Copies of this chain bind each other. A is one copy, B any other.
Amino acid sequence: MGAMITSTPKMLSDSIRGAGLKVTESRLAVLKALESQSHADANTVFDSVKLDLPGTSLQAVYGVLTALTSAGLLRKIAPARSSARYELRTGDNHHHVVCTRCSAVQDVDCVVGEAPCLTPLHDSGFAIHTAEVTFWGLCPACQLTNS
Contacts and interface: CB of A to CB of B under 8 A. Distances in A.
Scoring A79, A84, A128 by chain B CB atoms within 10 A of each residue's CB, the highest score goes to A128
A128 B80 contact: no
B133 A137 contact: no
A112 B121 contact: no
What is the size category of the interface that chain A forms with chain B?
Answer: 35 or more
Contact of A117 (B99, B115, B121, B137): B115
A139 interface: yes
Contacts of A3: none
A117 B97 contact: no
Nearest to A99: B126
A130 B98 CA distance: 10
Interface string A104-141: 00101011100111111100111111111111111110
Scoring A118, A137, A140 by chain B CB atoms within 10 A of each residue's CB, the highest score goes to A137
Given A84-B80, A133-B133, A126 B97 contact: yes
Contacts of A108: 121, 124
